[in-house]
Structure 1
Amino acid sequence: MNVQRWMARREASWRQLETLLTQTETKGLRSLSGSQVRQMASLYRSVSADLARAKGNGVGQSVIKDLQRLTSRSYSQIYQGSRRQEWQALWEFCRYGFPAVVQQSWVYIAIATALFATGGLLGWWLAGQDPAFLTLVLGQEFVEEVKTSQELWTVSIMGVEPVASSGIMINNIGVSLKALLGGVTMFLPQVPMITPPGFFTVYLLVVNGVMIGCVGVLVAQANLAYDLWAFVFPHGALELPAIFMAGGAGLLLARGILLPGHYRRIDALKLYGLQAAQLLYGIIPMLVVAGLIEGFFSPQTWIPNELKYAVGTAIFIALVQYCRTQRPKS
């Protein structure tokens, strides 16, 4: 190989890569256009090949060191810069993206909340009117145990907080996924029948509401209402809104199938599916935090109920304020 001729032919590419690297190091990767980023990646590969050739053909040490420096700088910017961009994108989503998609989906979240509340009121009314309905929903053994012991079942968490907390997280994430996927499923797991998309989401929200309503009647009859809602408030301030958001995501998917509007059904499902997925990305961290609170804070009997109510209220207000966050106008 004619070393001098090869160097003269490749020198322009080396200097071009160095120019792009200098701009990236001083102004950041975002200062490059998409074509410049692709060009830098291509030049990095070619310079890496040049370095291997230089080492195998007795090129001077100064040239080899120059090429090593270029490849090292390129690797740092291309790969570490990509990771920085990923973390920045995650931070941007947490700071502005998730609140934006919650605001965009508020109608569906409100409908999911209304379905749950309707189930709760229905359960409260029916259980209050007919004790048989209360035992039908919650089980005879459970109802009798609560009324006899005059003690909340939540004390079972004490002493096994880590196990209980992880189990709570898994259960709540499972419920949220079912509420979301219920937007597209065509059957009920409990009933061998074909149903319209979204029916399982509605069913899940209403049934869980009915159960909460029945629990409310039970603890009221056992004079445990104040203690139970003190237990629920801290983690429920995150857990319940997360489930309502998951229900809203399920309704979004059902809307894409049933009411695609001027979109093709497949395009509507992609559009609303992306929106539902973005909701899910924010829901899971909420449920993880709620699980930690429910496992380690809510059941602690040494914490005054008044403090639990205050903490739950503060968390809910903070959540509402966070969901109202607006991206600053540039």
Structure 2
Amino acid sequence: MDVDAFVQANRPAWDRLDRLVKKRRHLSGAEVDELVDLYQRVSTHLSMVRSASTDAVLVGKLSSLVARARSVVTGAHAPLWREFTRFWTVSFPVVAYRSWRWWLATAVAFFAVTGVIALWISGNPDVQAAVGSPAEIDQLVNNEFADYYREHPAGSFALSVWTNNAWVAAQCIGSSILLGLPVPYVLFQNAANLGVIAGLMFESGRGDVFLGLITPHGLIELSAVFLAGAMGMRLGWSVISPGDRPRAQVLAEQGRAVVSVAVGLVAVLLVAGLIEAFVTPSPLPTPLRVAIGVAALLGFLGYVVHFGRRAVRLGETGDIEDAPDYVPTG
């Protein structure tokens, strides 16, 4: 089947069904009959597309249209709990899963920068002297770094950490308005700060303390930040290279995907904040604290892979069900 010709021939019927669904509360008798007829035809179109095309976006759009038309035809209304469940089992994980290349590339670049700066700091006394005096560095590596996690009540510290992490992620998400251009700078700042501390700690023989305190919460925390940065940059790239679809349509879809990730990361960063406040400074053995951090990361990645891959196989894109094809242009 020539998919492009098929789309061209049937687009008017799909658009007409979409218009009837949107005015479902004000349909005449004739329009109701037309809606039922179109619903049956578009359901057939969906089956044909699923069997003959690998275009996940087209399948997702038709699936959404058929689902909304079915709701009107049967008189069903999705309850709030169903929308909530759909977000956490489809919308958020499928957007994260489909962005895995950007997500992984962001993580690799971040750790590469962190590693280079850490090696530069640890092997260069002149650079260390520029960072601080020997007394200041000694205070940082032997007291201040560890005290940071212990000097505040756990509850208020968790809120503070969550707010700070959410702000970093929000900077990455917000940068999508500027096509993701500020994202590399935001991530570089954080990588540089982490690299400086890591270099000083390892140079002073306190690398085990550094890893023991940063790993429990840092794994899932940084994964969330990487995802936020990846989404911001991906949106920018979608404007530069939209593929064979209209640039406005791709921008609209990626913009809604960024919003889904922003909402989902609120919960992920909350988990990171709780671990940093209650697990990182706890008297638990270091291997156990690290194991908790690893388990949190694997749980998050497993969740994204399980639900995201399943949603992709069903033709889901994570886009909202009543989404327009294009962003308003004024």
Name the TM-score class by shorter chain: 0.5 to 0.7
CA distance in 1, matches of 2:255, 2:71: 30
* Among 128, 139, 146, the residue aligned to 1:154: 146
Question: Quick check: 2:149–2:281 contact (8 Å CA) kept in 1?
Answer: yes
1:100 equivalent to 2:81? Answer: no
Answer whether contact 1:230 1:305 (CA < 8 A) is retained.
yes
TM-score, L = length of structure 2 = 0.66
> Hey, what does 1:165 align to over in structure 2?
158
1:304 is aligned to 285
Pairwise CA distance, 1:226? 1.1
Instruction: Report which of the two structures shows the higher radius of gyration computed on alpha carbons.
Output: 1
| Structure 1 residues 1-330: aligned runs within 5 Å | 33-35=71-73, 37=75, 85-134=79-128, 139-140=131-132, 144-148=135-139, 150-158=142-150, 159-185=152-178, 197-300=179-282, 302-325=283-306, 326-327=309-310
Structure 2: distance between partners of 1:133 and 1:308: 32
The number of aligned residues is 242
Counterpart contact for 2:120–2:199, Cα < 8 Å: no
Secondary structure at the residue paired with 2:166? helix
TM-score by length of 1: 0.66
Identity of aligned residues (%): 22
User: What letter corresponds to residue 168 of structure 2 in structure 1?
Assistant: V
- Once residues 233 and 240 of structure 1 are traced to their aligned partners in structure 2, the CA distance between those partners, rounded to angstroms, is 10
Amino acid at match of 1:89: E
Deviation at 1:32, TM superposition (A): 7.0
Alignment partners' CA distance in 2, 1:327 and 1:166: 34
Q: Is the 8 A contact 2:122 2:202 kept in 1?
A: no
Specify which structure has the bigger relative contact order, considering alpha-carbon pairs within 8 angstroms and separated by 6 or more residues.
2
**Partner SS for 1:327:** helix
2:326 maps to: none
Taking only aligned residues, the RMSD between alpha carbons, in angstroms, comes to 2.7
Query: What per-residue deviation string (whole Å, max 9, x for no partner) do you get for residues 257-310 of structure 1?
Result: 32233344333221211122222222110001111111122112x211111121
Cα displacement (A) at 1:242: 0.1
The alpha-carbon deviation at position 36 of structure 1 amounts to 5.3
| Contact preservation (8 Å) 2:118, 2:200 | no
Query: For 1:52-107, what per-residue CA distance to the aligned partner results, in whole angstroms no more than 9, with x for missing partners?
Result: xxxxxxxxxxxxxxxxxxxxxxxxxxxxx76xx22222123213432221111111
Cα deviation code 1:131-179 (max 9, x no counterpart): 444465xx426x7434247235232443422222111111100100111
Work out the CA distance in 2 between the residues paired with 1:120 and 1:290.
Answer: 20
* CA–CA distance in structure 2, aligned partners of residues 299 and 110 of structure 1: 29
| Alignment check: 8 A CA contact 2:215 2:293 kept | yes
Deviates more, 1:259-268 or 1:311-320: 259-268
Q: Aligned partner of 1:218: which letter?
A: L
Q: Retained in 2: the 8 A contact 1:250–1:276?
A: yes
Q: 1:165 is aligned with what amino acid? A: A
Q: CA deviation at 1:114?
A: 2.2
Distance 1:184 1:174, change over 3 A: same
Q: Which residue of 1 aligns with 2:38?
A: none
Judged with a 3 Å threshold, the aligned counterparts in structure 2 of structure 1 residues 258 and 133 are, in CA distance, closer, same or farther, namely farther
| Contact 2:181/2:233 (8 A) holds in 1 | no
Cα deviation, residue 184, structure 1: 3.2
Q: Give the partner amino acid of 2:207.
A: A
- Give the C-alpha shift of residue 113 in structure 1: 1.1
Separation in 2 of the partners of 1:247 and 1:118?
Answer: 16
How many angstroms apart in 2 are the aligned matches of 1:286 and 1:151? Answer: 29
Look up the match of 1:8.
none
For 1:205, the aligned partner's letter is L
| Contact residue 122 and residue 203 of structure 2 kept, 8 A | no
